[in-house]
Every structure is written in C-alpha cells, then in structure tokens.
Amino acid sequence: MLSRDADSLFWLSRYVERAENTARILDVAYRMASMPISYNGVETNEWESALITAGGIDQFRAVHGEATPENVIEFLAFSEANPSSIQCCFDTARQNARSVRSALTSEMWEAINSAWLDLRRYKARSINVEDLPRFLNLVKEASLRYDGSAMRTMLRNDAYWFSRLGLYIERADNTARVLDVKYHVLLPQDAAVGGGIDYYQWAAILRSVSALVSYQWVYHQNLRPWLVADLLILREEMPRSLAACYAALSRHLDDISHRYGTSGSAQRQARATHARLANQNIEDIFQHGLHEFLQEFLAENNRLGHAITNQYLC
C-alpha cells in the first residue's frame, strides 16, 4: 500500500473517532451541568472542563471570552477556528475518504458522506442546550455506522489494519484525557484521593465511554473512583480501556509487520506499553499518582503515533 493511502486511512479513522469523542465530552458536560453546580462547596464549570478535556482551552480563549454553554457548544461542534470541532473532523474525514475511495466499501463511504451532509444541515441553524442531546446522538450514531461498516465489510488487509491503528491511538488518547481531567475537576482540592465522590458525577463519566453497565457487571458495587480508574485503564475486556486499545494496537502492528516482513520501533513501543499495562495494578498506579501515570501514558501514546507515522506513513 502507498504510504499516502495508509496515511489517509489512518487519519480518516482518527478524525471519525475524534468527532465521536468530542460528542461524548459534550454529553458529559451537558449531564453534569444539569446537576447542582457545587459539590461540598466547590464550584466547577463543566463547560470549561469540556474544553480542557478536548485540548482546546487555549484556542477557545483566543476566540471567545467566557465559557458559556452556547460558546462551548459552537466551538466544539462547529467552529472553523477549532480544527478538532465535530464539523471540522467530519470535513477532514470525508476529504481523506475521497482520496482512498477505492479502499473503502460502499457502506463505509455512505456512512461518512451521509454524516457529513447531516452535520452541514445542523450547522445551518443554531443549536441551543436543549437540542444538544439529539445532535450528539446523531454524531455518535454516525461514528458507530462507520465503525460497524468497517468491521463487517472490509477485507482484513493492510488497509483495514492502518484504519484500526488510527482508531485505537485516538481512543486511547481520549480515554486517558477524560479520566485525568474529570478526576481532578470532580475531586475537591482538600479531599483525599478515593474519597466520597458523588455517585451521579461518576456515573456521567462512565456514560461518556459507554461503561456504566460494564462497571456494574464487573464490580457489583457502588461507584468507587479507584474502580472506575481500574476499569478504564487496566480491564482489557472493556473496549475503550487503555489496555484494550493497546492490545489491539499491538495486534494490528504485528499484522502489518507480518505482511511487510519487517518490524520496527512502532511494534516495540506498542508491545512495551501493552506489557506495562498488563502488569500494573490500580493500587500501584494510585500510589505513584493517577495524574502522573496518565500524563506519562499520553506522552507514550503520542510517541507511538509519531513512530507509526515515521515508519509507515511518510
């Protein structure tokens, strides 16, 4: 496969996944903003935390002032000043899809193109906070249609594997950011790590990664911060966990190396991170510091993305 085609497939999946992740971040902000604005006397701005989670707080401040619901929704959903807005993600994903049209099945192309058309119709009119859940459901369903089409219709060849690499790099990044930012936003500064965090706030976090029911199946008890972290970091059976993402990354990078007959730094980095996650326990992570662990992971994940680019996509 030509490197430019592999690059387009890699980024096509990354941008579709990023759009879904941004929709999930906005969904959490909407849910939490509907709850009491203070917890133990500590006030938080969930709309601002959505910007921090999405990595767009500095860009937002350059365009807008206060992080009002309307400003944040516009910036994260439609703004052309934000290259990671939902609209921009689908614009770029569609451009990449057009450049590798022959590598996509008709179902995959239809999923991307119809989502792009639906979003442009939404952009033509303003969305208020009350309309937000319907819009976010449309984005999440569009991503699921694309992902389901890829899973059910693509040949298991290098086109499929590069597409999966983009998805799992992006998914791992988002899960780590959601857990890191939300954990520190919700935990009052004078409260102990693992203290009495409000049940409904943690439920909203788990809903953002479709993990609330999974949590109940795995742990059979009320929500505990350290168990939420365990589920989203170490439980490989949880599809959006860091461990699950790196199991998939290692597997697909090995598939590519077997096809091309060579292995490199990308394979070594993915295996090393996967092994580290497989041999960790949540007590050690909390003793080391959850924030520090997640920041190290984000840096490692970014390095793997660069390694894949340098090894295959340049």
Say yes or no to pLDDT of 201 above 90. Answer: no
CA 156 – CA 288 distance, rounded (Å) = 40
Say yes or no to pLDDT of 301 above 70. Answer: yes
What are the DSSP calls for 252-274, one per residue? HHHHHHHHHT---HHHHHHHHHH
Taking each helix axis from N to C end, the angle separating 158-186 and 242-260, rounded to the nearest 10 degrees, works out to 160
Residues of the chain above pLDDT 90, percent: 61
Region 16-37 average pLDDT: 85
Region 244-271 average pLDDT: 95
Q: Which residues pair with 38 in a beta bridge?
A: 43
CA 314 – CA 307 distance, rounded (Å) = 10
Give the pLDDT score at 242: 97
pLDDT band at 209 (very low <50, low <70, confident <90, very high): confident
Sign of the CA dihedral with 179 first, then 53, 16, and 96 last: negative
pLDDT band at 96 (very low <50, low <70, confident <90, very high): very high
Lowest mean pLDDT among 3-7, 127-131, 220-224: 127-131
33 burial (CB, 10 Å; 0-12 / 13-18 / 19+) is middle
Spatial contact of 169 and 249, defined as CB atoms under 8 Å apart: yes
Say yes or no to pLDDT of 98 above 50. Answer: yes
pLDDT in tens, 159-185: 999 999 999 999 999 999 988 876 665
pLDDT band at 298 (very low <50, low <70, confident <90, very high): very high
CA 205 – CA 248 distance, rounded (Å) = 23
Give the residue ranges of DSSP H helices in the chain. 3-33, 46-54, 57-63, 69-77, 86-99, 106-123, 132-153, 158-186, 199-208, 212-219, 225-233, 242-260, 265-278, 282-288, 290-308
Say yes or no to pLDDT of 44 above 80. Answer: no
Say how far residue 143 (Cα) sits from the centre of its chain.
12
Give the pLDDT score at 196: 44
Give the pLDDT score at 187: 53
Region 124-145 average pLDDT: 86
284 burial (CB, 10 Å; 0-12 / 13-18 / 19+) is exposed
pLDDT band at 266 (very low <50, low <70, confident <90, very high): very high
CA 96 – CA 98 distance, rounded (Å) = 5
Say yes or no to pLDDT of 130 above 90. Answer: no
Say yes or no to pLDDT of 52 above 70. Answer: yes
Helices (H), strands (E): how many in the chain? 15, 2
Give the pLDDT score at 125: 63
Region 294-304 average pLDDT: 96
pLDDT, mean over the chain: 88
Region 272-292 average pLDDT: 93
**What is the pTM (predicted TM-score) of this model?**
0.90
Give the pLDDT score at 225: 82
Region 43-67 average pLDDT: 83
Spatial contact of 185 and 202, defined as CB atoms under 8 Å apart: no
Q: Which residue has the tokens 């009052």?
A: 188
Rg (CA), the chain: 19
CA angle centred on 300, ends 161 and 267, rounded to 5°: 40
